[in-house]
Structure 1
């Protein structure tokens, strides 16, 4: 589909492979890699187990990405998991995913990361703490404003900030691997005197997998990808492989520069590593890098979440006005405005932290069931040729789904309150769905 032949009510396919890969990289790399390795180090005994967890987490995520590549190639329209669930399992599961993600998790995540951006921005610019919320709200307002002018403007913003966040990670690598004059011997060390319990291992796996999250945003925007049957698999794979390389190298830099014990004791390893070489100025430089990284994530999450919300509106699962696509800029302007405004409300009220904690299980359930739709597609359309097929089928999707369900079970055990609230939010979507369908029928009859 070309720009010229697209109807005025559809998206334009303007995203190429590099922009798609930038969306994958920017959607995964937020603030986690600058902080999470300390938590993982605290729960592992030495360098080799720590690196092994990051490699295994990357391989598992790559398995999920390859499954998403086939799903995106089979259904290259906007909506991502919502679209796959609706087609494979029906309207109710799709609505429950949209209810949990597009209306709660996406705006909650955007609000939380926008506040993180504002916090680091204010540190770097010496603005007082009361400025954090206004800066966060201003960032969301600016991102929504840019995306109102279509995917090309939004992609430009994503590409710039993806390069900036990669520059921040590159700086981290140079400092840790070259300037810190640490010892590489501790990188692959195994301390047999330290006993790590099974609970600690599970506690170390969870933050690794969550730091690899966010790889699905390109599928949310699949309706704007050029030659999607070829571009989506390549962009997804290239982007995720790049993330895994960045994450593993960043952890090696932490281990070389700080040592395993120093990394485990750190509250802000990236800032501590930079400070060890450049003093307070180093911490300021890293604050700028993390601000750029989190700002880029917000841009992607707003763009992807708005596409899911727009698809729901077009399906009649939300207000019809939200399902509209602007005829001139081919952007879901109403959906962008709704998502951005709701995220700003969450910032002002300060309720975003609870929402993000309460919907994490729902997000990963969505990933599990979303990839499980691949079994349905293969059974229904297995005889049809597909431009891309996930290798080692059915092993890869089965391993991903089984592992994610295991992680969810571990989360329920370790944080029953948050996990229980997540399940409550999902279940509350059932009466909301019934009420919405009844109201829609009444409106149609009227």
Structure 2
């Protein structure tokens, strides 16, 4: 096997592959649990659906902005590239430090463990199977992606279809339980008081459930005709996600009622159990396992390309920046990310890491979208087939909303938010030492 940083990625992803990456990157396990939290913080089904619609529209604004950013810089690395060009190497390094080294492997470890939990339940396996299954899933995904983006995209497309099939079944069953009484969605739950302003707290889990739409931009260097394909795939994929999320919540509300949804620990399984009994929970466990496995595939592929771009920039070990000459895959970066995710899986420390890095992830989104203002000024005359509509309103709304979410998160969980900022700040001396070491090596 020969590796060389001079080799580039091959553009093999079409619009449907891109849309599948968006859908798979957003729909993981959150939609099967988060709606219960949203219902707890609202008084009826109407604000529940309104919050999911608002969250979808806000996220769509960010997706449309990412469409233009991806069209301007259609190469691997996504936000890291935009930050490096607009704000310099330090902010880009801090983003990579937080995301590629902590958030990506942490999310893979967390979701792989969720996959293994549901897979073992569906197969009737004892609890000690969870960690071996999670490690096996990560190893298998990394192995498939060693053979290039086509192999990874093929696997991703299969699991996207499977997760959409599970969601479709959930929607159909939920609506069937309504027996024509859709008005129950709007019934006010008087069993518990909802504090004034609680809708702000209810919007937080909604926005987090819509996260993950940036992975396609991480793989932009492998998208065919990216100036046209990227914006279309992003919009198509996110439109599909918004539709699925709204219909799933309607199914939950008509199947369980607002009070039942708020009290449920596993609303998807509860809805399925109403029709299929004990087998319903097994069916849903299989669906959630497929959904979470698909997410892990995208997170590994996208995260590895951020690591590879950092390595090629000598912001990380240079070997990680190599691209395999035969398969055009970042094999070293894939191996590094996979090994670190496995370490986090076996140690069980990923949960707290994910809490600590949530603020850093959303700060990356806010500053990533903010680079659009810099690109518009610096390259005002650059011809593009796609520009974000309603500029500068859409990026302004998205950035302000994300910053608002960060402030609300910091107020609600000051310890986690503070640790997130500490992790980011620790990257500053690491960056200084790394640059010093690189200069010593070069000189």
CA drift of 1:385 comes to 1.7
Contact 2:189/2:259 (8 A) holds in 1: no
Q: 1:178 to 1:153 in 2, by over 3 A?
A: same
Of 128, 131, 140 in structure 2, the residue corresponding to residue 130 of structure 1 is 128
> How far apart are residue 395 of structure 1 and its match?
0.3
1:151 to 136, 149, 152: 149
Q: How many Å separate the matches in 1 of 2:186 and 2:256? A: 14
Q: Does the CA-based 8 Å contact 2:98-2:424 persist in structure 1?
A: yes
1:292 maps to what in 2?
290
Q: Does the 8 Å CA contact 1:182/1:256 hold for their aligned counterparts?
A: no
Q: Indicate which of 323, 334, 343 corresponds to 1:325.
A: 323
Tell me what 1:98 maps to.
Answer: 96
By how many angstroms is 1:188 displaced?
Answer: 3.2
Residue 13 of structure 1 aligns to a residue in which SS?
A: coil
TM-superposition CA deviations, 1:138-181 (whole Å, max 9, x none): 00000000000000000001000000000010000111001453
User: 1:315-350 deviations in whole A, cap 9, x for unaligned?
Assistant: 000000000000000000000000000000001111
Q: Equivalents in 1 of 2:220, 2:98: separation in Å?
A: 21
Count of aligned pairs: 439
Q: Is the 8 A contact 1:140 1:340 kept in 2?
A: yes
Q: Which runs of 5+ in 1 are unaligned?
A: 1-6
Q: In the alignment, what sits opposite 2:227? A: 229
Question: Which string of whole-angstrom CA distances, capped at 9 and with x for unpartnered residues, describes residues 281-301 of structure 1?
Answer: 000000000000000000000
Query: How many Å apart are 1:384 and its aligned residue?
Result: 2.1
Aligned 8 A contact 1:180 1:277 in 2 = no
Between 8-17 and 198-207, the greater mean CA deviation after superposition: 198-207
- Of 195, 198, 216, which aligns to 1:197? 195
Structure 1 position 442, deviation (Å): 1.1
Residue pair 1:176, 1:182 contacting (<8 A) in 2 also: no
1:187 and 1:382 map into 2 onto residues whose CA distance is: 48
Distance across 1 between alignment mates of 2:383 and 2:119: 50
Say whether 1:206 aligns with 2:204: yes
TM-score normalized by structure 1?
0.97
Name 1:57's counterpart in structure 2: 55
Contact preservation (8 Å) 2:131, 2:346:
yes
If the length of structure 2 is used for normalisation, what is the TM-score? Answer: 0.97
Q: Distance in 2 between matches of 1:29 and 1:100?
A: 22
Please state whether the residue corresponding to 2:75 is helix, strand or coil.
coil
- 1:182–1:257 contact (8 Å) kept in structure 2: no
Deviates further, 204-213 or 436-445: 436-445
The corresponding residue for 2:169 is 171
Whole-Å separation in 1 of the counterparts to 2:381 and 2:188 = 49
The 2-side partners of 1:193 and 1:339 are apart by: 47
- Could you tell me which residue of structure 1 aligns to residue 416 of structure 2? 418
Match 1:340 to one of 331, 338, 341: 338
**Does the Cα contact within 8 Å between 2:96 and 2:310 map onto a contact in 1?**
yes
8 Å contact kept, 1:117–1:292: yes
**Counterpart for residue 369 of structure 1:** 367
1:107 pairs with 2:140: no
Say whether the 8 Å CA contact 1:100–1:426 is kept in structure 2. Answer: yes
Which stretch of structure 1 is more off in the superposition, 334-343 or 174-183? 174-183
SS at match of 2:304: helix
**Pair 381,198 (structure 1): closer, same or farther in 2 beyond 3 Å:** farther
Equivalent position of 2:441 in the other structure:
443
Is the contact between residue 120 and residue 130 of structure 2 (CA under 8 Å) also seen in structure 1? yes
Q: Deviations over 1:20-56 (max 9, x none)?
A: 0000000000001111101100100001000000000
User: 1:196: Cα distance to partner?
Assistant: 2.9
Where 1:318 maps in the other structure, the secondary structure is coil
In structure 2, how many angstroms separate the alpha carbons of the residues matched to 1:385 and 1:197?
Answer: 50
* Contact 1:68–1:219 (Cα < 8 Å) also in 2: yes
* Structure 1, 182-191 or 147-156: larger mean CA deviation: 182-191
Is 1:350 equivalent to 2:332 in the alignment?
Answer: no
CA contact (8 A) 2:369 2:399 kept: yes
Tell me the distance in 2 between the aligned counterparts of 1:123 and 1:384.
54
Alpha carbons 2:10, 2:221 under 8 Å: kept:
yes
Give unmatched runs, 5+ long, in structure 2: none
Q: Contact 2:187 / 2:258 at 8 angstroms: preserved in 1?
A: no
3-state SS of 1:329 partner:
coil
Identify if the C-alpha distance between structure 1 residues 191 and 133 changes in structure 2 by more than 3 Å, giving closer, same or farther: closer
Match of 2:137 among 139, 146, 157: 139
